[in-house]
Structure 1
Amino acid sequence: MANPASEALDELERQLPLFGDARAVDGNGSGLSNPARLTLGEAARIIRDAVKDKSYRATSVGQLVGRYLRWFRNEYGATPSTLRDYEAVLARMSLTLADKEPIEVSVDDLRDVIDLWGERSPRTRQKVTSVVRAFWSWAEEQGHIAISPAARIRRPRAEKRVAPLLPADARPRLLTVAKHPRDRLALFCLLLLGVRRGELAGIQVRDFDAHRCSLRVYGKGRKERVLPLRGPVLAELRLFLSSDLPHVGRPPEPDDYLLYPTKRVYDGRGPEGQQKLAVRAYPRKRPSPQAVHRWWYRQLEAAGLVGRGVTHGLNMHLARHTFATELRRVAGIDAASQALGHSDLNTTLGIYGHRDQTDLEAAMERYASWLEQQREDGIVPPEADD
């Protein structure tokens, strides 16, 4: 019977030419004396280290990747998070093609690279394919190669999935238990405006305009959009601006963040010698994504939507999906796309353009009303109902 670990190692050896020459990674030939005996864990460590210390750039393709990432940052304006995502893919490609010059890379070589993600979801393979194609298109445009070997590679078809939503009663339960205007306003930003977690973390008091009834948010790539404030969110904003901030003891100021971090600090000892703790707030400091995540699950726990201490299972992004789905039903896909900050309508259509059960129920309601009107007008006799 075949050994699964041995088979996996053989597959990794086939996909990673660096097994044949450790110098392709460390650049000085001082690697392991027999690379063919590398374990899977050692191979994974080599790949991680090569990305971390940039040693993958010792390969010919890796040198070109370094130039591409510099162009991508300085001229295209890619954000740090986008650069990290691209480098993770391109570094692995460089190691896989360590024994080749850029002009020697073929379409089959790149298909072998993409196959490294063969067990991942179609959506992940779509992203990997897009990164690989973008890099080689740039190499062709810049004159490093004559023709992009990735030009004939197609992105895999991703499965169409219905965007998951929050439970139907989540909004009233969350807003009922949130006592402070600050928390309620942050929940309104998620539930009625559809902001992302990173956008929520970056909201400062100055971004709200109570006179123009709007909120300015900065999305992916620092893209800016202005969201109109209407209904209860506007009333909650005015209450927030006139209330003292939690653990701060003063009204909000323009430089304050909406969800600022707090920390428990030592505050002396009590009458019986017990240690006392106080909460210190940092309203001028942006909260980390992890802090916003914990805040969200505290709200869910208070509303009884998750159990005590649970920090997974009801992702914050579900609030964005719920908002987008409801807005699309009421105002159409174009309005949803603009509110979400999508630069391409196809992005919105791919996630929220489908018709779901609620759409069908509403259509049948309209059809039943139309039939009833036809009967009242004498156009459809009662016996024709079947």
Structure 2
Amino acid sequence: MAGRDEDEQRELDEPGLPEPFARVLGDYERHLRSERDLTAHTVRAYLGDVTSLLEHAAALGHVELDQLQLRTLRSWLARQQTLGRARTTIARRATAVRVFTAWARRTGRTAEDVGASLGSPKAHRTLPAALSAEQARLLLDAAAERADDGSPVGLRDVAVLELLYASGIRVGELCGLDVDDLDRERRVVRVLGKGRKERTVPYGLPADRALGRWLGAGRPALAVSGSGAALFLGARGGRVDQRAVRTLVHARLADVPHAPDMGPHGLRHTAATHLLEGGADLRTVQELLGHASLATTQIYTHVSSERLRSAYRLAHPRA
């Protein structure tokens, strides 16, 4: 563990930050990993944004955290804009810095939270692509046709696609599932989501049938001594990885005429959209998707409204 910490510290020192900045960055990384229990990807994103700010501050002659001022943060954001960063990127980086300065104030590393008043551009919210119900059916039918030969990988692919669409879970959540996370009697799956929050998500009969075929004939054919409890396995018997699932979704969508090209997250968008169009309320969809905020779920109401308007424009003679 000590060797690992030393390696991480050397990585933090590489940008040439003043020693006080590098030390604070190391403390912040340990806070994100140990206390907030964030994923490695999220930790890298937070550290990258904060490192960028501290490098900017060092270029302005600051060497201590207490020297940071609101105008320092604003000039850093302005530089992001001159570098051509997207509004969504700038907004995300501003949020990351506000989280960092709040932590610095809370832990006594600064006398005030200089980022509390930092504004950021409002990101343009684009409507996520979603399959129609017919396209979703064609996707699953195409995958089933390819699995008619009974190959283990084919059976797995059908089960993966059926479960993604039936439950709306994230690709990382799907890849992390173990066999015991399935309760086939009640047709629910136990999911470990962001922040290690556990939730139970139902799935339908077609997904259960696909899972039954995978568990009965597909998984035993691929399992090896190192497979462990993983629900979905790769061709070599290890736990399936996210890249393989993304490749699968893109490939099978290519079999569906006029379907938008999307990854597993597109199937999550599709599941949420179809739930709302079928009459589910926002709170229910929020629980199923594992959103911390209802505001995140509300974008799907815009998706459904836009689909309604599109159908109206196509169908009504005086639209």
Q: CA deviation at 1:72?
A: 2.2
Instruction: Specify the alignment match of 2:157 in structure 1.
Output: 183
Secondary structure of the corresponding residue to residue 226 of structure 1: strand
Distance in structure 1 (CA, Å) of the matches to 2:77 and 2:283: 34
Write the deviation string for residues 235-271 of structure 1: whole angstroms up to 9, x where unpaired.
Answer: 3333333324385389xx982431x222xxxxxxxxx
Instruction: Specify the alignment match of 2:13 in structure 1.
Output: 54
Distance in structure 1 (CA, Å) of the matches to 2:79 and 2:248: 37
Query: Judging changes above 3 Å, is the alpha-carbon distance between structure 1 residues 331 and 168 closer, same or farther for their aligned structure 2 residues?
Result: closer
2:31 is equivalent to residue 71 of structure 1: yes
Distance in structure 2 (CA, Å) of the matches to 1:51 and 1:173: 51
Distance in structure 2 (CA, Å) of the matches to 1:238 and 1:93: 51
Instruction: Specify the alignment match of 1:115 in structure 2.
Output: 78
Q: How many equivalent residue pairs? A: 286
**2:288 equivalent among 319, 339, 342:** 339
Alignment of 1:301-316 (within 5 A): 301-303=254-256, 313-316=261-264
Query: Judging changes above 3 Å, is the alpha-carbon distance between structure 1 residues 223 and 117 closer, same or farther for their aligned structure 2 residues?
Result: farther
Secondary structure of the corresponding residue to residue 243 of structure 1: helix
**2:215 equivalent among 241, 244, 248:** 241
Check whether the contact 1:208–1:214 (CA below 8 A) recurs between aligned residues: yes
Query: Judging changes above 3 Å, is the alpha-carbon distance between structure 1 residues 248 and 102 closer, same or farther for their aligned structure 2 residues?
Result: closer
Distance in structure 2 (CA, Å) of the matches to 1:303 and 1:328: 23
Check whether the contact 1:122–1:158 (CA below 8 A) recurs between aligned residues: yes
Alignment of 1:122-137 (within 5 A): 122-137=87-102
Distance in structure 1 (CA, Å) of the matches to 2:210 and 2:115: 52
Secondary structure of the corresponding residue to residue 161 of structure 1: coil
Distance in structure 1 (CA, Å) of the matches to 2:240 and 2:213: 22
Q: CA deviation at 1:303?
A: 4.8
Instruction: Specify the alignment match of 1:328 in structure 2.
Output: 276
Write the deviation string for residues 54-99 of structure 1: whole angstroms up to 9, x where unpaired.
Answer: 3345343332222222222222222222111111111111111112
Secondary structure of the corresponding residue to residue 124 of structure 2: coil
Distance in structure 2 (CA, Å) of the matches to 1:361 and 1:69: 47
**1:97 equivalent among 42, 52, 57:** 57
**2:109 equivalent among 129, 134, 144:** 144
Check whether the contact 2:129–2:266 (CA below 8 A) recurs between aligned residues: yes
CA RMSD of aligned residues (A): 2.9
Secondary structure of the corresponding residue to residue 63 of structure 1: helix
Distance in structure 1 (CA, Å) of the matches to 2:199 and 2:294: 15
Normalising by structure 1, we get a TM-score of 0.66
Query: Judging changes above 3 Å, is the alpha-carbon distance between structure 1 residues 156 and 148 closer, same or farther for their aligned structure 2 residues?
Result: same
Distance in structure 2 (CA, Å) of the matches to 1:327 and 1:156: 32
Distance in structure 2 (CA, Å) of the matches to 1:71 and 1:245: 39
Instruction: Specify the alignment match of 1:87 in structure 2.
Output: 47
Check whether the contact 2:32–2:38 (CA below 8 A) recurs between aligned residues: yes
**1:213 equivalent among 171, 187, 193:** 187
Which of the two has greater helix per residue? Answer: 2
Q: Bigger radius of gyration, 1 or 2?
A: 1
Instruction: Specify the alignment match of 1:261 in structure 2.
Output: 234
Check whether the contact 1:328–1:335 (CA below 8 A) recurs between aligned residues: no
Query: Judging changes above 3 Å, is the alpha-carbon distance between structure 1 residues 361 and 86 closer, same or farther for their aligned structure 2 residues?
Result: closer
2:287 is equivalent to residue 287 of structure 1: no
Distance in structure 2 (CA, Å) of the matches to 1:338 and 1:169: 26
Distance in structure 2 (CA, Å) of the matches to 1:59 and 1:93: 15
Alignment of 1:15-54 (within 5 A): 52=11, 54=13
Secondary structure of the corresponding residue to residue 217 of structure 1: strand
Check whether the contact 2:12–2:26 (CA below 8 A) recurs between aligned residues: no
- Letter of the 2:158 partner, please give it: R
Distance in structure 2 (CA, Å) of the matches to 1:244 and 1:132: 47
Gaps of 5+ in 2: 1-8, 148-153, 314-319
Secondary structure of the corresponding residue to residue 77 of structure 2: helix
Check whether the contact 2:250–2:261 (CA below 8 A) recurs between aligned residues: no
Normalising by structure 2, we get a TM-score of 0.79
Secondary structure of the corresponding residue to residue 240 of structure 1: helix
